[in-house]
Amino acid sequence: GTFKGLHTKELLSCLRYGMILFILSEVCFFFSFFWAFFHSALAPTPELGCTWPPTAITPINAFSVPLLNTAVLLGSGATVTWAHHSLTEGNGKEAKQALILTILLGVYFTKLQLGEYEEASFTIADSVYGS
C-alpha cells in the first residue's frame, strides 16, 4: 500500500535488532555446548574415573558414519541453495528437482543417525556423553 512494498525505518530497525538478538542467542546456545564439553573433558570428575572419555564409554569413530553425515548435510545445504536460485530465476521444474533431492538427503541423514544411535554402546540415559 502506502510504502509500495517497502518497510518503514522503524520496522527495519526492529527487524535488525531482532536478527541481532537471534544471532546472539545462537552464539550463547553453542557457547554453552562448548563450555559443557570442555568442562567435562579438561576436568573429569572422580565419579567418571578421572579419565576422558569415561572408561565405560567407547567413542564412535569420527571418520565413519559421522563424516558421511557431515557430507550429507553439506550436500543438502547445496541442493537447497540450488533450489532457491532456481526459484529466483523462475525455473520451477529445476527447483522442484532440487527440493526433492534435498528431502531425500534429509531422509538419508535421519536413517544414518538412527542407525548410529542403535549401534552405539551407550544411550542418552547413561550420562551426558550419550547425547
Same domain membership, residue 122 and residue 68: yes
Same domain membership, residue 59 and residue 39: no
108-125 confidence digits (pLDDT tens) = 999 999 999 888 877 777
Same domain membership, residue 120 and residue 63: yes
In order, the DSSP letters of 50-89 are S-SS-TT--PPPTTSHHHHHHHHHHHHHHHHHHHHHHHHT
Q: What is the pLDDT of residue 115?
A: 94
How many domains in the chain?
2
11-24 confidence digits (pLDDT tens) = 889 999 999 999 99
Same domain membership, residue 117 and residue 65: yes
49 part of a folded domain: no
Q: What is the pTM of this model?
A: 0.71
124 part of a folded domain: yes
Give the integer Cα–Cα distance in Å for 104 and 83: 14
* 3 Rama class: left (phi>0) / alpha (psi -120 to 50) / beta: alpha
Same domain membership, residue 63 and residue 26: no
Same domain membership, residue 64 and residue 36: no
50 part of a folded domain: no
**CATH code of the domain covering residue 84:** 1.20.120.80
Through-space distance between the first and last CA atoms of the chain, rounded to whole angstroms: 50
Q: Domain residues for 121?
A: 55-130
Same domain membership, residue 104 and residue 64: yes
Same domain membership, residue 65 and residue 29: no
